[in-house]
Amino acid sequence: MGQAAYEQLHEAIETGALKPGDRISVNALAETLQMSRTPVREAIAWLETDGLVVHEPYLGRVVASLDRQMITELYAIRLVLETTAAGLAAQNATEAEIAVLQDMVDLEQQVLGDPIRRERHNRRFHEALYRSAHNRYLLTSLKALQTPMILLGPATASDPDRLQSAYAEHIELVRSIARHDPDAARTAITQHLAGGQRARLRHMMQREQY
C-alpha cells in the first residue's frame, strides 16, 4: 500500500496535480487516495528522500519548488552533461538506437496536443539520447537530475510556440546523430536547452504576476 501511495503521489507531482509549494496533509491525502494514514506517511517519507517533498517552517511538508537561480543552475549543468551526451551519441549510437530516436521524434508529433503525454514522451526521448552515448558514468550523472526536472513539471508543454520549436530541435538533433556529426549534435542540443530555459523562466515570471 505504501508503494501504491508513493506511485500515485509521485504521478500527481509529475503531472502538476500537486504543484510546487502545495501543502502535504497526511489526512487529506489518505482521504483522497482512500487509504489509511500509515501507507500515506510511508509514501511521503519516500518522497522526502527523493527531494520531491520538503519541510518548510510554519507550513510543514510541501511539494518542493525551484526558484529562478536553481533553474539557471540546473540548465547550466544540463548544458555540460547533455552536450557531452549528444556528442557521444553521434559517435557511438548504433543504427538500432538511431532508429528508436527517429521513431520517437515521429511519435512526438502525435502527442503535441496533450501536455502530460508530451512531457513524459520528452523525458523518454532524452533518456534514449543519454543511453545512446554509451557512457555509464555520464548516465549516472544525468539520472541525478531526474528529481529537479520532475519539479519543473509540464510548463513548456502548454506553450504552442515552444512545442513546435522543441519538436524542430529534436528533429535536427536526431539528424545530426544519424549523420554521426558530433559538432552538429552538440550545437543542436545547446539550442534546444537554451530555448527550454527561456520558456521555463518566462512561465515562472507569468505565474508570479498572478
Q: What is the pLDDT of residue 206?
A: 65
Do the Cβ atoms of 192 and 166 come closer than 8 Å?
yes
The domains located in the chain, with CATH, are 2-63 (1.10.10.10), 68-208 (1.20.120.530)
Which triple of cell numbers denotes residue 46? 519516500
Q: What is the pLDDT of residue 82?
A: 97
Q: What is the pLDDT of residue 137?
A: 96
Whole-prediction pTM value?
A: 0.82
Which triple of cell numbers denotes residue 164? 513546435
Nearest of 195, 199, 189 to residue 152 by alpha carbon? 199
Which triple of cell numbers denotes residue 156? 513548456
Query: How many Å apart are CA 144 and CA 51, to the nearest integer?
Result: 11
Q: What is the pLDDT of residue 30?
A: 87
Q: What is the pLDDT of residue 132?
A: 97
Q: What is the pLDDT of residue 163?
A: 85
Q: What is the pLDDT of residue 209?
A: 59
Q: Per-residue pLDDT for the chain (210 aa), expressed as one digit of tens each?
A: 778 889 889 888 887 788 888 899 888 898 888 888 898 999 999 998 888 898 888 888 998 888 888 889 999 999 999 999 999 999 999 999 999 999 999 999 888 888 788 888 988 999 999 999 999 999 999 988 888 888 876 656 567 788 889 999 999 999 999 999 999 999 999 999 999 888 888 777 766 655
Q: What is the pLDDT of residue 208?
A: 62
